[in-house]
Each structure stands twice: as C-alpha cells, then as structure tokens.
C-alpha cells in the first residue's frame, strides 16, 4: 500500500469512542484493564450484527492490549485509547508512555506478528514459556483474532500500538 | 454498565463423578499467584483422573493470556508426565474466542482434543431448524399473538421495559412486541443461525434496527445477571431435555422484581370435532413421540411447579386455545400440515415406527385439518402461559 492509498484508507475509519487518563491513575488498579475493556466493548458493539458476542470478542482483545500497556507503561504521562470503525473492522489505537529501552522490543514483537512463522512461534510460546510474554500476547491477537498490528512511532516517551480487528467477520 | 460481572469471582470446580473440571466467569488475574488455588485444584483433579479428564470452558466468558497460559501449562505438563490420560476440552460455539484459543492445545499434544459443545441441550433443534419450517413458525406466532397481546400485560409487559426474548426463533414475537408495547430495549437470543439470519433479514426489510439479535445458548448465556424487567421464553422449555436448567438461566438474567414469562403446550389436549377420537389418539402419540426424544410437550400445566421450583414467586398461570375460528381457518390447517410433515414424516421415521403406525398417526393430523376447515367444525390447540416474579 502506497502512502496515498494508506491515507485514503485511514480517512475511512470513523471514530467511535476514545478515552484518556493519567497513566498513574490507570496503573493504580489492575482491574482498570478489565473494566475499561468491558465498558468500551459494550459501547462500540451495540450496533453490530450480534452485539453480545461482538462485545465479548472485542473485550478479550482490548483487555490484552490494556494489560500490555499496564505491564510496560511508565507512571508519568497519559494513556489514550481510541476505537475507530471501517466496515467490518474496528481499529484500536492505544498510546501510552513507554520506557526508551522497550521501544525496540515492541518494534520487534510487532514485526514477528507479520512473519510466516508466527503460528509456530505462538505454539512454541504456549508449550515452553513459563508465562505469556508481551510478544506472545501480540501473536495471540494476530492468530486468534485475525488482527493486523503495527506501531506508530511518535516522539518519546509515547508509543502507539494500532490494531485492526475484523471481528464482525469472525463473530458473524 | 453493570458492575456485577466485573466483580463476580470466577469459578473453577472439579466434579469427580464426571471427571470434569469447569471454568466459568471472568478470569483475568494480574499474576498466576492470584489463581494459585485454582491451579492447584486443577493439578489435583488431574492426579485423581483416570482415562479422560473433561475440561469444560462453555461458561468461560473471559480468560486473559496469563490465566490461559497457566492452565495450558498444567495440561501440557500433564500430557508429558501421564501417557495414560486424555484431555477433552469442551468449548462453546457461542463464546467464539474459546474455540479459537483452546484448539491450539491439540496441535501441541495429541492427547488433547477440543470439542465444540452445541447440541446436547437441543434434542429438538434439528427438527425445527429446517428452513421449510420457517413459514409455519410465522403462522404459529400470528395465531398465538392474537391471544398473547391481551394477556402479556398481566405478566409484566409494559412500555419502556428492558426485555429479553430467549429462544426467539425467527424473531416475529420480538417484532410484534416492539410494535405493540414499545419496550426500551429488546435482546432476542437463539441458538439457530438460520433462524437468526431470517430474523435479521425481516428486521432489515422493515427498517427495524433496535432489536439485538444474538446467537446464544439458552442454557449457558453470555448475558449478565439481573438485567431484564421481563424475560420471555416461548414454546422452548418443552423441547429442552433439562427445562429446569434453562429456567435457572432465565431466573439469573431477570432483575429482582422482574418476571419470567413462558408458554408451553400440552399436546395431548389438542382437540377437534368431528373425528375427535382419531385426533385424540394422534396427539396422545405426539406426546409419546416427543418423550422418546427427551422432550416434554405435555409441560404446559406443569409450568407452575417448574416456576416455583426455580425460586419464583407471585406465579400466574393461564391458558388459551388457538382455534380455527381465530382468523383464517387455513392458517390453522397449515400449522397442522407442518406438524404432520415433521412429526410423522421425520420424527416417527427416525424413531423407527412401522408404516402402519405412521399412516394412523398421519390420519389424526388429517382429521384435525378436516375439523379446522369444515364449515361446522372446531379445531383447537391449547397453550399454557405462565410467569413468575423473581423475588426482590
């Protein structure tokens, strides 16, 4: 996709919902991940073909992203999450302050979701790792939710993960 | 937003009798330590199990990767340590992500198989899911609606309520309720994708966009507790082999003070004149035939007991007779023709009934049609409507 095509596709995504909060507040309670993902999922799913199941799927995916930012984020600055829609896809844009040392990690983790061996890596992580790494979580989104994942590089310290989820197709 | 679900603890239980370990609810721990007790219980269950251990995730609404990874590791480690045991993970087609996530375990270890639970609670579904049955479902709803629109307000229906129509079928009842009573919100749920597709299509054609049609399992619903002022479930308890289990779910999603409304038949009380004896014989046999397939089409008058046993109070029961005098007698006749086709043409054949039985069985339906269309005839189909209030 060239720059003009990408720009055209970008403009077709309609904004649905967004929130912003102090990162320190977000990090003060683990349950914020569950509460925010459940609430946002319900809000954006109401006019999908099957709102209940769409909401269930979306909450699963968004919760994982919020958990990634919870585990990897800095307490200063703000976390922002916006959801957009274009046809059967929802786009989640999640921005959060990330330590400089982790930016490269995220670049590599996202790149691995695009590689041909993504599924083999995911199975390997399931069968050998002691716990789920953030890399495995991104692979989970790509494999189990058919997500397309990329990073939007802004100036430090913020990092933005963009995830396109074709849930309407999966749910229906 | 209800916070009930967010605060609800998850359940992880082992039933030693069925060698089944069940996960239910929302499992989103920050670390494995938070679910250490459940992990330990799971390990003990595996220690105890012989042969096959079932892992039931049908009611698992959410599970984060931390929990999924932890429980998966226990299973995968057990596969490596115990060649004598197999694991069967039972997922639900309704909670779609479980199907997608758990299937990978079978790729890693051949001792693990992943099954999608679907039909155990729906012995009658295949008989009514045929799209040829759809027109008759419309006619049935049209004929019962003449009565139900009058009695529904006595069972909690009023404008502005939040209601759920569970086992909504092709969705006609939800559309009629919406037009007549203007509820604030209607969720209509069914386990037939064909019926839901039809319902959505009809709604779209009529410009209706505010009925939430959802694919769901009435005995294992994703809907949260205590949400609805009125929960309706029509002609469905009678085709479940565990109606008490379904009522438990209807009770759960109903608000305290709200009502659950059910309709059911007593097929042996279908009647007609002339040729009453032949009609009577056939409908007695209908009841026996359904019983063979673990369905109770005699449930109607038992509604009061079922509602009481499920914990409802202020139980109201009434019955009405759909007859050939309600509108066009041909509508009544069309319904009986559809019954004859399904009951005598499919179910009796599947039971293995001999041709002479099937012929006599068919004759009763034909006599019922004759009664319906005869200028001096009378044909009836009795229905019991009942509701109970969930205590405050």
The pLDDT, as a whole number, for residue B219 is: 86
**What angle (nearest 5°) sits at the alpha carbon of residue B305, between those of residues B301 and B310?**
130
CB pairs below 8 Å between A and B: how many? 91
Q: Out of B6, B95, B212, whose CB is closest to A35?
A: B6
Interface touch A132/B101, C-beta < 8 Å: no
Name the pairing type of β-strands B20-27 and B52-63.
parallel
Range of the domain at A41: 16-165
Interface touch A126/B69, C-beta < 8 Å: yes
Q: Is the peptide bond before B147 cis (omega within 30 degrees of 0)?
A: no
The pLDDT, as a whole number, for residue A132 is: 82
Interface touch B223/A52, C-beta < 8 Å: yes
Q: Is the peptide bond before A31 cis (omega within 30 degrees of 0)?
A: no
CA B241 from chain center: how many Å?
10
Interface touch A63/B64, C-beta < 8 Å: yes
pLDDT tens string B306-358: 999 999 999 999 999 999 999 899 999 999 999 999 899 999 999 999 999 99
- Rounded Cα–Cα distance for residues B148 and B319 (Å): 10
Q: How many domains does chain A have?
A: 1
For residue A61, tell me if it sits in a domain.
yes
Residue B87's beta-bridge partner residues?
A: B53, B112
> Mean pLDDT, to the nearest integer, of A70-98?
94
Distance from CA of B75 to the nearest CA of A (A): 10
Chain A stretch 48-87, residues whose beta carbon is closer than 8 A to a beta carbon of chain B: 49-53, 56-57, 59-60, 63-64, 67
Which residues in chain A are contacts of B187 at CB distance < 8 A?
Answer: 52
Distance from CA of A171 to the nearest CA of B (A): 7
For residue A2, tell me if it sits in a domain.
no
- Rounded Cα–Cα distance for residues B288 and B286 (Å): 5
Distance from CA of A4 to the nearest CA of B (A): 35
> Mean pLDDT, to the nearest integer, of B158-182?
96
For residue A106, tell me if it sits in a domain.
yes
- The alpha-helical segments, DSSP class H, found in chain B are 4-7, 36-48, 65-81, 96-108, 125-128, 134-151, 172-181, 193-205, 243-253, 276-292, 303-309, 329-339, 348-351, 355-373
- Rounded Cα–Cα distance for residues A64 and A84 (Å): 18
Q: Out of A60, A144, A171, whose CB is closest to B62?
A: A60
Q: Which residue of A has its CA nearest to B199?
A: A49
Q: Which residue of B has its CA nearest to A61?
A: B64
Write the CB contacts of B21 (distance below 8 Å, at least 6 apart in sequence): B12, B13, B14, B15, B42, B45, B53, B54, B55, B56
The pLDDT, as a whole number, for residue A84 is: 97
For residue A79, tell me if it sits in a domain.
yes
For residue A36, tell me if it sits in a domain.
yes
pLDDT tens string B232-269: 999 999 988 899 999 999 999 999 999 999 999 999 99
For residue A3, tell me if it sits in a domain.
no
For residue A64, tell me if it sits in a domain.
yes
For residue A11, tell me if it sits in a domain.
no
CATH code, A134 = 3.30.565.10
pLDDT confidence bin for B10, thresholds 50/70/90:
confident
- The alpha-helical segments, DSSP class H, found in B152-228 are 172-181, 193-205
Interface touch B62/A56, C-beta < 8 Å: yes
- Rounded Cα–Cα distance for residues B226 and B256 (Å): 7
> Mean pLDDT, to the nearest integer, of A76-101?
94
Question: What is the value of pTM for the model shown?
Answer: 0.87
């Amino acid at each position: 996709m060239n720059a003009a095509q990408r720009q055209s596709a970008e403009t077709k995504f309609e904004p649905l919902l967004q929130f912003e909060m102090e990162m320190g507040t977000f990090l003060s309670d683990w349950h914020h991940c569950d509460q925010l993902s459940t609430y946002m999922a319900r809000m954006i799913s109401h006019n999908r073909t099957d709102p209940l199941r769409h909401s269930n799927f979306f909450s699963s995916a968004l919760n994982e992203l919020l958990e990634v930012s919870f585990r990897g984020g800095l307490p200063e600055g703000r976390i922002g999450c916006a959801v957009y829609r274009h046809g059967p896809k929802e786009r989640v844009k999640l921005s959060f302050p990330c330590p400089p040392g982790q930016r490269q990690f995220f670049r590599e983790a996202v790149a691995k979701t695009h590689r041909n061996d993504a599924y083999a890596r995911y199975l390997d992580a399931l069968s050998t790792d002691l716990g789920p790494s953030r890399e495995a979580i991104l692979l989970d989104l790509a494999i189990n939710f058919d997500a397309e994942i990329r990073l939007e590089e802004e100036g430090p310290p913020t990092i933005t993960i963009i995830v396109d989820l074709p849930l309407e197709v999966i749910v229906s | 937003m209800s916070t009930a679900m967010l605060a609800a603890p998850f359940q992880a239980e082992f039933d030693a009798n069925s060698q089944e370990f069940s996960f239910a609810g929302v499992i989103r721990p920050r670390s494995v330590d938070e679910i250490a007790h459940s992990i330990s219980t799971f390990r003990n269950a595996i220690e105890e199990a012989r042969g096959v251990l079932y892992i039931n995730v049908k009611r698992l609404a959410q599970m984060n990767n931390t929990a999924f990874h932890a429980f998966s590791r226990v299973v995968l480690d057990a596969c490596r340590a115990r060649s004598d045991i197999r694991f069967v993970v039972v997922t639900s087609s309704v909670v779609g992500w479980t199907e997608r996530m758990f299937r990978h375990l079978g790729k890693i270890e051949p001792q693990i198989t992943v099954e999608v639970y679907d039909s155990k609670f729906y012995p009658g579904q295949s008989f009514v899911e045929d799209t040829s049955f759809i027109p008759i479902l419309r006619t049935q709803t049209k004929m019962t609606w003449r009565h139900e629109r009058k009695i529904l307000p006595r069972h909690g229906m009023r404008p502005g309520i939040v209601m759920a129509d569970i086992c909504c079928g092709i969705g006609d009842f939800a559309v009629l309720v919406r037009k007549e009573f203007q509820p604030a919100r209607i969720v209509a749920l069914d386990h037939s994708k064909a019926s839901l597709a039809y319902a959505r299509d009809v709604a779209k054609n009529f410009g209706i966009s505010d009925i939430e049609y959802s694919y769901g399992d009435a005995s294992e619903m994703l809907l949260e507790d205590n949400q609805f002022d009125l929960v309706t479930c029509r002609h469905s308890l009678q085709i479940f082999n565990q109606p008490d289990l379904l009522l438990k779910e209807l009770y759960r999603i109903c608000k305290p003070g709200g009502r659950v409304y059910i309709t059911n038949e007593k097929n042996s009380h279908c009647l007609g004149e002339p040729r009453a004896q032949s009609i009577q014989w056939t409908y007695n046999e209908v009841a026996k035939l359904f019983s063979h397939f673990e369905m109770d089409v005699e449930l109607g008058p038992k509604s009061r007991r079922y509602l009481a046993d499920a914990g409802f109070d202020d139980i109201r029961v009434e019955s009405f007779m759909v007859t050939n005098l309600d509108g066009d007698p041909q509508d009544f006749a069309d319904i009986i023709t559809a019954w004859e086709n399904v009951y005598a043409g499919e179910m009796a054949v599947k039971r293995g009934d001999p041709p002479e039985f099937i012929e006599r069985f068919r004759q009763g339906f034909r006599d019922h049609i004759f009664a319906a269309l005869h200028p001096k005839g009378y044909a009836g189909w009795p229905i019991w409507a009942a509701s109970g209030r969930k205590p405050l």
